[in-house]
Structure 1
């Protein structure tokens, strides 16, 4: 019997039992869609991870951290200690940056500095995390902008605002912000200049009047009145360079951050805190400023990924904390593999039920077509052709169910992404993501399930006795 004849007979048999065929196909549709949607949730998380790694320097990037800035220096690099020390602090300073750049296979080293700032505009104020870095490092982060551009280096300071910065502002009079009133401040972050204070603690302590003095009453101390100058917190005017894309409901890794040019920030900080310790910077045991500017961390870029582990180990041996995106990605991959296995297993239960439905449909078809099977056997149809005929019917059910199941899964995935934005739960991309290769794979898997489910009914049809089948009523 030719293949075209087998296809024609198989399709006509399925058409004769439309309702049963529809219900069986429906089971495969639900099973296929369940697996695809469940796996797509894990793929969405994995895709968000890859995007985050790409924005933070890729797999050839190493983040190097030293001692916490703001701690007291105990010898080591302080002036007047003769070079002796009880404990040498590992700071990210200019000397370390130069040393790291001289390591073989290191392409470049970029310092990054973070500090808390206070922003003022009219009746509003808000605190934010300021991240200062070199222009080329900012550019490599591939930040999507809603308006404006990246901060430009120069004498004036420019801020690039994260899309969630408006939610951090509150009214000074009422001390109520967005999460209390659900009203955003009347500020155009793309165009309005505002004041920035680099020492919020000093500002909020009441030292916000120029040349304020701290006085001690001689009647209370018994000594002459003493005065100690306390410099006020200066307000600097900053202009916006741009705003990061995304509304306040779309969370991303830049959500509550403000970015600026590192060199411009350093110039202002050295001027503002001349002779004083810059907030977040280390100091000597006597309370004097550390002679070199200390960065929060350094971003080390390696030429090839195979050299990352060796260089990371070398820097660890120097006493610094090291984080690599490759290590982070490997750790997260194993977790995502478990998540995808669990989600896929949940969906597989539905497809297993569908496979039982296919087997039941094919077995019922055999009992109803016993006489037909006997007749075609007597007419000389081979057992192989009978087996192929029933397997084709089962495969067709699996293929049709897989095709429609994929269409249904895309509909469900789109609905999930519409109702629940990935940024709302901490993802930089859609919560559900279906790659193109999953379509043929899932269809092939559904078809395979149909064939396996129809194997034993087909074998049962082969074993029927022709004479008994013909006598069957």
Structure 2
């Protein structure tokens, strides 16, 4: 008997018992779907993580920060005042740029700011970067948006699409997350007040509440009462807003971006003689002469040289971390998550395999006489084994294909309900099914079906032809 004859007989046998075959295939389909959907969730999180790393500069980027007093002893063992504090200023940036295999050093300054508009106020994180570094972020701006001009003297801002959700009334209530309603502000068109000195602003608010300031002087009036200097409010406009509604999480969702050199000019002018928020100070609380950055991204020309450059940066006394280190740690965590999720789904497929074995055993008992007849007619034991294995494999294959169709449907529903990851705080689909997972899942389901049919096939081979023919 050739393969085509065996295949034809196997398919006809499955068709003869449609309901039993359907229920067995249904079990395989559910088991396959369980495994695929569970693994797809882990893969979706991994994809989101990879995208986040790519947005942060890729695998050949080193994140460098300065070291406050006491921290550097971990690296240098030097407890002197000079060695116990490493500040990331322009000199440090130039020093880092001279290292071998370093192609660029991108300083960044982050600070918390306050936005005021009418009866609303909102908090946000202001991120200042060089023009070329802002361009490298590839921010998805709404139509008409552009990057801030450099060294213009006036702050131009790019708002993240989630900044609008941070606005509340001035009592701090009626936020978007409480009411579901956004503040009546058009960040694309409206001018808003930007407060860089939050401590001074709230101190002035408290002082005014007790009626002890006229807002016109720095300290002490002629009658000895204390007065509070009015905090400067910068009227600013947006040069761009990141595309997407407040439910669509993406790079820069909660941030405000501006030009670094322009912000430095504005800060030095406003805080002349005072410590700028976030800047290190001396033991006496006075600011240093040099402007210090929050962090810097160091690009390396060869990923194989990454560890060497990291060691060099740490030996200079700075903190250094890489996306590759983060990725390695995250991969281990993702591997564990996928193993757990896949294991949960595998239980369903194991139950389905038992169902296939049961179906094939029942088929043997019902077809005992038929098996005896084909043996007497000269059908080889090998052909009988192959016929039953083909039937079992067909159940696994059909169930696997049907399971993949159902998996894609469920994956689409999951991504839709989670706003393509936005509801989970990630950028990208929560469920991701690559083509390799499709092929592996179908092949695995077919293999499970074949293995489940192996022992029933051996049972069919061992039947005595004469005894089988006599069976009623």
State the TM-score, normalized to the length of structure 1: 0.91
Shift in Å at residue 241 of structure 1? 1.7
Give the structure-2-normalised TM-score: 0.91
Structure-2 residue corresponding to 1:453 = 452
Matches of 1:401 and 1:54 in 2, distance apart?
Answer: 38
* Alpha-carbon distance change, 373 to 226 in structure 1, aligned in 2, over 3 angstroms: closer
Alignment CA distance shift 1:181-1:386 (3 Å): closer
Partner of 1:77: none
- Which position in structure 2 is the counterpart of 1:467? 466
Q: Which moved more, 1:250-259 or 1:20-29?
A: 250-259
Alignment deviations for residues 40-80 of structure 1 (CA, whole Å, 9 cap, x no partner): 01011001000000000000001011135xx89xxxxxxxx
How many corresponding residue pairs?
453
Distance change in 2, residues 1:325/1:190 (3 Å): same
CA contact (8 A) 2:55 2:251 kept: no
Conserved? CA contact 1:7–1:392, under 8 Å: yes
Q: Deviations over 1:176-234 (max 9, x none)?
A: 4323333211111122221111101101211796632432787xxxxxx598x864321
C-alpha contact 1:54 1:141 (8 A) present in aligned 2: no
Partner SS for 1:192: coil
SS in 1 for 2:113: strand
Match of 1:66 in 2: 66
Distance in 1 (CA, whole Å) between partners of 2:320 and 2:83 is: 20
Hey, what's the Cα distance between the residues in 2 that align with 1:411 and 1:39? 15
* 1:429 to 1:65, Cα distance in 2 relative to 1, 3 A: same
Q: Name 2:92's counterpart in structure 1.
A: 96
In 1, Cα distance between the equivalents of 2:274 and 2:439?
66
Question: Using the alignment, how far apart are the partners of 1:58 and 1:86 within structure 2?
Answer: 33
Q: 1:458 Cα deviation (Å)?
A: 0.6
**Following the alignment from structure 2 to structure 1, what is the Cα–Cα distance between the partners of residues 24 and 386?**
19
Cross-structure match for 1:81: none
Which of 200, 203, 207 does residue 202 from structure 1 map onto? 200
SS of 2:453's equivalent in the other structure is helix
Contact 2:38 2:342 in 1 (8 A): yes
Answer with 313-322 or 46-55: which moved more. 313-322
Tell me the equivalent position of 1:397: 395
Residue of structure 2 in register with 1:304 after alignment: 302
Counterpart residue number, 2:52: 52
Counterpart CA distance in 2 for 1:226 and 1:359 is: 92
Aligned to 2:127: 131
For 1:206, what is the secondary structure of its paired residue? helix
- Match in the other structure for 2:330: 332
CA deviation vs aligned residue, 1:136-187 (integer Å, no higher than 9, x gap) = 2122223222342333324131111112111111222675432333321111
Stretches of structure 2 lacking an aligned partner (at least 5 in a row): 71-79, 209-213
1:116 and 2:121 matched: no
In the other structure, the counterpart of 2:219 is: 214
- Asked whether the equivalents of residues 55 and 143 of structure 1 are also in contact (C-alpha less than 8 Å), the reply is no
Q: Is the CA contact 2:204–2:231 (under 8 Å) kept in the aligned structure 1?
A: no
Q: Secondary structure at the match of 1:301?
A: strand
Which SS does the other structure have where 2:219 is aligned?
A: strand
Q: Spell out, residue by residue over 1:434-467, the C-alpha distance to the aligned partner (whole angstroms, 9 max, x if none).
A: 1122111111110000000001111111111111
- Separation in 1, partners of 2:254, 2:225: 43
Q: For the residues of structure 1 that align with 2:65 and 2:452, how far apart are their CA atoms? A: 58
CA 1:174/1:119 → structure 2, altered by over 3 Å: closer, same or farther? closer
Structure 1 range deviating more: 261-270 or 172-181: 172-181
Q: 1:86 to 1:64 in 2, by over 3 A?
A: closer
Is the CA contact (8 Å cut-off) linking 2:219 and 2:229 kept in structure 1? no
Corresponding residue for residue 74 of structure 2 = none
Change (3 A) 1:441 1:173: closer
Give, in whole Å, the separation in 1 of the partners of 2:87 and 2:193: 31
